[in-house]
A and B are shown apart, each in its own frame.
Chain A
Amino acid sequence: MDVLNNLLNGFHTALSLKNIYLCFIGCVWGTMVGVLPGIGPLAGITLLIPATFGLDPTGAIIMLAGIYYGAMYGGSTTSILMNIPGESASVVTCIDGYQMTLKGRGGAALFISAWGSWVGGTLSIMGLMLLAPSLANFATKFGPPEMFSILLIAFILLGSLGTGSFFKTMPMVLLGLLVSTVGMDPLTGAFRFTHGVIKLFDGIGLIPVAMGALGIGEILKTTEESLVRVIHKIRLRELLPTREELRASWGPIFRGSGIGFVIGLLPGSAHVLSSFISYIVEKKAAKRPEQFGTGRIEGVAGPETANNAASGSAMIPFLGLGIPTGPAPAVMMVALMIHGIRPGPLFISEQPKIFWGLVASMYVGNIILIILNLPLVSLFVSLLRVPFRILFPLILLICLVGTYSINSSTFELIILLIFGVFGYVFRKLDYDIAPFLLALIIGPMIEMAFRQSLMRSGGSFSIFWESPISMILLVLSGLLFFWNIYRALRPRKASCERALKGS
């Protein structure tokens, strides 16, 4: 019972008054960072690094990790209430979360999202605790060909994301891909669609585009519809999920935990992928997929669980091997290094106090977070009682400040506004924004992986089926592709028969 013993020692460390306090500070800060659009976990952690200079390494990492997973709790708030993604992993939460708010179920959506975050977070820490050393090596098995194959699956799934028809989703996917090519090509250094503007060299940032197309687009559209929308009083019963909603969430929460955990291990921007794949899986698994996008609780529960689970497992390569797979773990690693602790393959065996203290503190932190977040639900929901003529300028202000705070760039404010108008126009034309945003995320990743693979192999395509992992994933994506076609054809046949019978 080595693990139990270690964990007990870990709790001994984590439950010291000072470490509970640091964990609490981290969680509160993380929640704030998550709630505020723009500032993501990365900036949140970086800002607090100087504050850890005077702490011992265990305390420092406990606090910084608290920010990291705390941000995943907070990220859903503005997505659900205002249609502004709090951070990039919560983009898909906007789809059904905001619809739930419009139906007066925003409180329930927030409640379920906090609950799912807790379950996902806790399960993922268990995975981290039991499997960290063996899974860390798994992460390094994913080179460009494997990444390409897994992204191919994501890409095939993208087509079924929208609420509208295939022919309304695909143009948005293509537009997203087109926008994603702007900037310097990372593999050759050639400039694409930059027209000599230095600020376009790095491409068009996801956050300003997402906040513009979703948040500002929404304001413009709603302003036009009715300034005198009825603001109803919110009763406690409306804050809590109904029994039916709770029952519908269990499946997505457990599936989301699994999906998030596995995807979190992969190199790259895993959070975004995890929530998005979880959403589509729920949609595929649902009995009535056409109801997704109209405010289904499953569309909130799955993704919000998945991004928390991913934040736990994203720590595995960093703690087990000393290789950060994403920017936020990279910052945490640097913070540890300042204290003279160098995470590496020997970290867990050489620094058991830090590792197990951290693991135990993550259990503690998740409990702090759920205690912190549930009462906040009613506070946040009461924001909706603010009259719209005040709320809208406020949302606009949040979007502007949030965007500026990322890179202190006024250029990104212009991007925000341009895509605000873009979001408005396409919403009016009845196109979905989500496929556009996800194509914007996946496009560059899949392009990179594909071209890196071919550069590695010197142009030979065999690299994609030489690796067993990649081979299996490719076969899966093929099956998925044909299954999609089959599914698309079958209901039409059924409805034809119905039509025939009717006549």
Chain B
Amino acid sequence: MKKMIRLIGMIGVAALIMTHVSVGAVDYPTKPITLINPMPPGGTLDVQARAYASVAEKYLGQPVIVVNKPGATGMVGGLAGAQAPPDGYTLTVGSVNFTNAIEWEIANGRKPPFTRHDFIAIGSFTMSPTLLIVPFDSLYKTLADFVKDAKSKPGQLVFCSGGLYGMSHLPIEIFAKAAGLKFRHVPYQGGGPCLTAVVGKHVDFAMQYPPTSLPLARGNKLRVLAVVGAKRLKSIPDIPTVKELGIDAEYYGWVGIMAPKNTPMPIVQKLRDITKKVAEDKSFIDMIEKPGDEVYFLNGDELAKWMEKESRIIAAIDAELAKEAPKK
């Protein structure tokens, strides 16, 4: 209750300050801002977007309303966001899902409904590496065990993902390519069902994200073998990265904010400043880090650069996958 009063107080004070500051600078925003989330309600991504919205409100002085427009791995909402008037009042939640969906369309010789060039990157606030997980009583105790066994039986180890060509499938393909391994894939619908399959030993391994995997690891239901990222995680300092074993693979789930291209530069600048403030805000950091994620801020230019790099990696993997995929 105390917290709530404090929050309301902060919003009030911030709103007062904002009304004064904004007189000299851009006259934006003067009405509520819509934040399109192209993913269905309830996932980690949705909650992080809502946390962003609730904190950004106090810096913007206007309500930020999250609207879920899910469909076609984010393409329905992404298209709506790309086609919105470039006035700063309709923003879009960007994530690695965009890159996944767009590159998959391109790899199959189709024209994606929009690309990252239809957006201006405002900034991103998380970047979680995937974790390689196996059932707790699996024979594999270390990443070396796992790689050794997988090498001896190519195409026999089975993994699950939360969806085809999505953020828990592609990291495995990237990893497999880097390590020269072959696996068999069973797609599930969503990360929850896939985790159930790992715990219930219906599959041999999977790659999932820290907030959902770590509690299960702590309760001895599954084992984390490696972090598929550049450095170890603060919360599990004993778990090595795949790079330490010489496998050059990394894949991150990131969440950020995008504006339609042609949005006036002063507005973009203001949104970028505010996103930075949000990423440094204590209450926002709490909301992201308590579930086991880490706030990792990239400003607009860094995010645009990252997306370019990510697109290249994913495009290369998708091109190979598209060759194997059944033709229509």
Contact = CB atoms under 8 A, between A and B. Distances in A.
B54 A452 contact: no
B41 A346 contact: no
A253 B221 CA distance: 36
Contact of A325 (B163, B196, B212): B196
A199 B76 contact: yes
Nearest to A197: B72
A452 B196 CA distance: 14
B20 interface: no
Q: How large is the interface on A (under 10, 10 to 19, 20 to 34, 35 or more residues)?
A: 35 or more
Interface string B201-226: 01100000001101110111100000
Interface string B27-71: 000000000000011111011001101100000000000011111
Contacts of A327: 40, 42, 190
B219 A346 contact: yes
Given A187-B187, A191-B328, A337-B290, A342 B211 contact: yes
Measured as residues with beta carbon below 8 angstroms from the partner, the interface class of chain B is 35 or more
A140 interface: yes
Contacts of B193: 267-268, 325
A28 B169 CA distance: 40
A43 B4 CA distance: 23
B158 interface: yes
Contact of A452 (B42, B104, B188): B188
Contacts of A199: 71-72, 76
Contacts of B41: 42-43, 46, 331
A408 B192 contact: no
A53 interface: yes
Contact of B76 (A198, A323, A325): A198
B186 interface: yes
B291 A140 contact: no
Interface string A435-469: 00000000000001000100110100000000000
A342 B187 CA distance: 25
Interface string A195-228: 0001101100000000000000000000000000
B292 interface: yes
A54 B219 contact: no
Contacts of B283: 53
Contacts of B132: none
B1 interface: yes
A198 B113 contact: yes
Contact of A323 (B185, B199, B328): B199
Interface of B: 1, 3-4, 7, 40-44, 46-47, 50-51, 53-54, 67-72, 75-76, 79, 104, 113, 158, 163-165, 184-190, 192-193, 195-197, 199-200, 202-203, 211-212, 214-216, 218-221, 283, 286-287, 290-292, 325-326, 328
Given A184-B72, A323-B196, A455-B186, 4 more contacts: A46-B41, A49-B50, A189-B164, A452-B187
